[in-house]
């Protein structure tokens, strides 16, 4: 047996470093084309700071065995839930809770900026579910329908509360990411397929009923949505289906995103040559800026880097001979894969716009640090994976 306690995954580090360089460079190029009130914010310099802070967190994570996360999993989960609950309280004095684009999702600190607790809760939920899976499987050596249903209940009872708190902010994108994380953990949990298919058919049945109700009773459903906290959902849905028809309202961002990407053609218009204004280009729509400036070639390079990131994470998950480590990386794969697919998909009208950032590329302090924390855990798992001669 050979144990490498200081083994680093230089491939993964290189991929993340390249994505960080692309992110800061892209943010530098979009700065002049932002709204006048944002042009002095120097997002690329702030992004460099967030990458430095996130890298420091990686160094700290590498000092400890990732298995120690199991000792603090419940305090972490409690802190995450309390942070999400605090968003619904009004505090006296200076505004502590920040609302943007209709979603109340941030804490505002004068010296730091804004912090989005749902981003950190993603990693906390992955750690919690991985711990529960390992502990459950240690207790129930012999798998039965009863034990599988019990495990499914444990997963859902931990996943649903943060999902609901995020859904009512309202943050549809974050809600979908938590579903993707939970689904990825369930798929590798060992639960019998007939139970999973039953769960899937149940979800499809409920979805079918909701869709049928929407088309059979469009008036009452539309009124309900417009009077609820989810009133933006129907607008985004129509804006996604017909962006050219709703170009002045809900389809504005998608319409100009498609125009910007299409105008880039094969090799792009050139550095800082962006004639199409797209809202939120520094965050959710960073992919449109890359595609317009560097065309299909530049966009393909970015997609390739993101594909290599996911491929490397899969490699680490398969290589790990510790089930807790494999479960952790699988949760990270679910989180990153969905966000990448959703962000690029919504930029090209493949999926509705949900306001999700593109991992490692979009500007954002909470999101960037969360992604680097996740990478730090993956690097920790890889560095402590034991290799056997006859594995």
Q: Residue 212 — very low, low, confident or very high, per pLDDT cuts 50/70/90?
A: confident
Q: Which residue has the higher pLDDT, 249 or 254?
A: 254
Reported as a single tens digit per residue, the pLDDT across 280-310 is 889 999 999 999 999 999 999 999 999 999 9
Q: What is the pLDDT of residue 94?
A: 55
Lowest mean pLDDT among 67-81, 118-132, 137-151, 302-316: 137-151
Under the banding of pLDDT at 50, 70 and 90, the label for residue 215 is confident
Burial bucket for residue 202 (CB in 10 Å: 0-12, 13-18, 19+): exposed
Per the model's pLDDT, the better-predicted residue between 115 and 213 turns out to be 115
Are the CB atoms for 166 and 174 separated by under 8 Å? yes
Q: In b/e form, how buried is each residue of 31-60, taking b as 16+ CB within 10 angstroms?
A: bebbeeeeeeeebbebbbebbeebbeebee
Quickly state the pLDDT bin for 128 (edges 50, 70, 90). Answer: very high
Could you tell me the pLDDT band of residue 1, with boundaries at 50, 70 and 90?
Answer: very low
Residues 61-97 pLDDT 10s: 999 999 999 999 999 999 999 999 998 887 655 567 8
Task: Measure the CA–CA gap between 390 and 276, rounded to whole angstroms.
Answer: 58
pLDDT of 32 above 80: yes
Would you place residue 4 in the very low, low, confident or very high pLDDT band (cuts 50, 70, 90)? very low
With cut-offs at 50, 70 and 90, classify the pLDDT of residue 184: very high
Three-state secondary structure of the chain:
CEECCCCCCHHHHHHHHHHHHHHHHHHHHHHHHCCHHHCCCCHHHHHHHHHHHHHHHHHHHHCCCHHHHHHCHHHHHHHHHHHHHHCCCCCCCCCCEEEECCEEEEEEECCCEEECHHHHHHHHHHHHHHHHHHHHHHHCCCCCHHHHHHHHHHHHHHHHHHHHHHHCCCCHHHHHHHHHHHHHHHHCCCCCHHHHHHHHHHHHHHHHHHHHHHHHCHHHHHHHHHHCCCHHHHHHHHHHHCCCCCCCCCCHHHHHHHHHHHHHCCCCCCCCCCCCCCCCCCCCCHHHHHHHHHHHHHHHHHHHHHHHHHHHHHHHHHHCCCHHHHHHHHHHHHHHHHHHHHHHHHHCCCCCCCCCCCCCCCCCHHHHHHHHHHHHHHHHHHHCCEECCCC
Q: What pLDDT shows up at residue 22?
A: 96
Report the share of the chain in percent with pLDDT over 70: 93
Q: Which residues lie below 8 Å from residue 62, measured CB to CB, with a gap of 6+?
A: 376, 379, 380, 383
**Tens of pLDDT, residues 321-344:** 899 999 999 999 999 999 999 999
More confident residue, 222 or 2: 222
Beta bridge partners of 293: none
Given a cut of 90, is residue 36 above it in pLDDT? no
Nearest residue to 8 (alpha-carbon basis) of 377, 386, 380: 380
pLDDT of residue 161: 95
Higher pLDDT, 213 or 129: 129
In the predicted structure, residue 28 carries a pLDDT above the cut 70:
yes
The pLDDT mean for the chain works out to 88
Higher pLDDT, 233 or 278: 278
Which two tokens mark 27? 């943010």
pLDDT digits (tens, 9 = 90+) for 341-358: 999 999 998 988 888 899
Instruction: Provide mean pLDDT across the span 175-201.
Output: 91
Task: Kindly indicate the confidence band of residue 178, based on its pLDDT and cuts at 50, 70 and 90.
Answer: very high
Residue 240 corresponds to which tokens in the numbers above? 């996604």
Work out the average pLDDT over 12-28: 95
Asked whether residue 244 carries a pLDDT value surpassing 70, the answer given is: yes
């Amino acid at each position: 047996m050979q144990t490498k306690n200081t083994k680093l995954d230089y491939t993964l580090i290189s991929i993340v470093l390249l994505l960080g360089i692309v992110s800061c460079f892209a943010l530098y190029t979009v700065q002049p084309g932002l709204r006048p009130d944002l042009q002095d914010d120097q997002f690329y310099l702030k992004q460099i700071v967030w990458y430095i802070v996130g890298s420091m967190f990686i160094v700290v994570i590498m000092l400890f065995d990732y298995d120690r996360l199991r000792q603090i999993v419940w305090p972490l989960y409690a802190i995450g839930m309390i942070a999400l609950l605090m968003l619904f309280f009004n505090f006296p004095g200076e505004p502590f809770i920040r609302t943007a684009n209709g979603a109340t999702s941030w804490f505002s600190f004068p010296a730091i900026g804004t912090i989005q607790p749902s981003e950190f809760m993603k990693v906390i939920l992955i750690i919690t579910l991985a711990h529960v899976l390992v502990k459950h499987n240690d207790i129930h050596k012999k798998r039965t329908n009863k034990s599988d249903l019990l495990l499914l209940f444990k997963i859902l009872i931990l996943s649903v509360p943060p999902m609901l708190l995020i859904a009512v902010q309202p943050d549809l994108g974050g809600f979908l990411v938590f579903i993707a994380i939970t689904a990825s953990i369930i798929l590798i949990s060992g639960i019998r397929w007939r139970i999973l298919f039953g769960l899937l058919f149940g979800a499809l049945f409920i979805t079918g009923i909701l869709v049928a109700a929407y088309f059979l009773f469009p008036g009452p459903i539309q009124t309900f949505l417009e009077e609820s906290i989810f009133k933006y959902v129907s607008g985004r849905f129509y804006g996604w289906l017909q962006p050219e028809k709703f170009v002045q309202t809900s389809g504005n961002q998608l319409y100009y995103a498609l125009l910007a990407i299409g105008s880039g053609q094969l090799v792009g218009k050139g550095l800082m040559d962006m004639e199409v204004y797209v809202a939120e280009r520094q965050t959710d729509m960073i992919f449109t800026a890359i595609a317009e400036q560097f065309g299909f070639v530049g966009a393909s390079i970015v997609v390739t880097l993101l594909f290599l990131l996911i491929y490397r994470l899969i490699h680490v998950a398969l290589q790990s001979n510790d089930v807790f480590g494999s479960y952790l990386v699988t949760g990270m794969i679910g989180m990153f894969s969905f966000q990448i697919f959703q962000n690029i998909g919504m930029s090209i009208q493949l999926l509705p716009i949900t306001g999700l950032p593109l991992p490692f590329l979009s500007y954002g302090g909470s999101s960037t640090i969360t992604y680097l924390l996740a990478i730090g855990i993956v690097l920790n798992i890889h560095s402590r994976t034991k290799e056997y001669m006859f594995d």
